[in-house]
Amino acid sequence: MFSKAIVRTPGKSLIDGLTDSKHLGSPDYQKAITQHKAYIKALQSCGLEVHVLESCEDYPDSTFVEDVALITPKCAIFTRPGAESRRGEVEQIETVLRDQFDNVERVEAPGTIEAGDIMMVDNHYYIGLSDRTNIQGAEQIIGILNKYGYTGSTVNLKEVLHLKTGLSYLENNLLVICGEFKNDPIFSRFDHIDIPEEESYAANCIWVNDNVLIPTGYPLAKGKIISTGYNVIEVDVSEYKKLDGGLSCLSLRY
């Protein structure tokens, strides 16, 4: 169960964030702010104490706090983003987490890793090898995890930006799954909630204390998750979709 979350208010520089989804248009800043506030309320409704960090205009993508740190029950690990323009964000989150965790670790060059490529399943961590996460970064993370009694393994990505773009673990052996991962034997042991390609954005959803937050506007995905018995909370994140970001990217939950 989670008790806390960290989020960062998007800055006006958000409109200059990294994206491969230019066909969706530029994000509307005021709308993004409204959506971010609603996201915070959704986390609070699940019982979380939410620590809201000030915006950081120097880093347009800094509202996606998940990518720069991995929080486990025993340690916090600062990543080294594959996007060079985002590496300064690590320092911005480091001062916040060092005050809360006795055990702090760090990924070093030449390793690169963004935590959007890391999916925790109980005591095991799946790590996607992507354009943002290389094998050196993954191996460093696995070494750190082993030190604290956890295990890790890698998954080769072919199409998606991050591992959790197409996968979300909802506890109870339930895996929301889409696209290239559906027939991957690595995930055959799980019970699948298959998300159709036309609703693939909804594959990035988050379990929070027996609730599931999903993006607004994906009725098929919503219905499938509700059928498993979870309470579903819809959150509009349309402006973050324009920056290739999703629900999980916007918070660190622990």
Return the biggest CA–CA distance within the chain.
Answer: 44
Would you state the structure tokens that stand for residue 70, as one six-digit string?
A: 């991995």
Q: Exposed, middle or buried: residue 159 (CB in 10 Å: 0-12, 13-18, 19+)? A: exposed
> Which long-range contacts does 31-37 make (Cβ < 8 Å, 24+ apart)?
31/238, 31/239, 32/239, 32/240, 33/9, 35/235, 35/236, 35/237, 35/238, 35/239, 35/240, 36/7, 36/9, 36/10, 36/63, 36/250
Give the strand order in the sheet containing 231-235: 206-208, 211-215, 231-235
Q: CB atoms < 10 A from the CB of 92, how many?
A: 17
CA distances from 92 to 3, 31, 65, 144, 190 (A): 22, 24, 10, 22, 36
Catalytic residue list:
162, 249
CA dihedral 175, 181, 182, 185 (to 10 degrees): -90
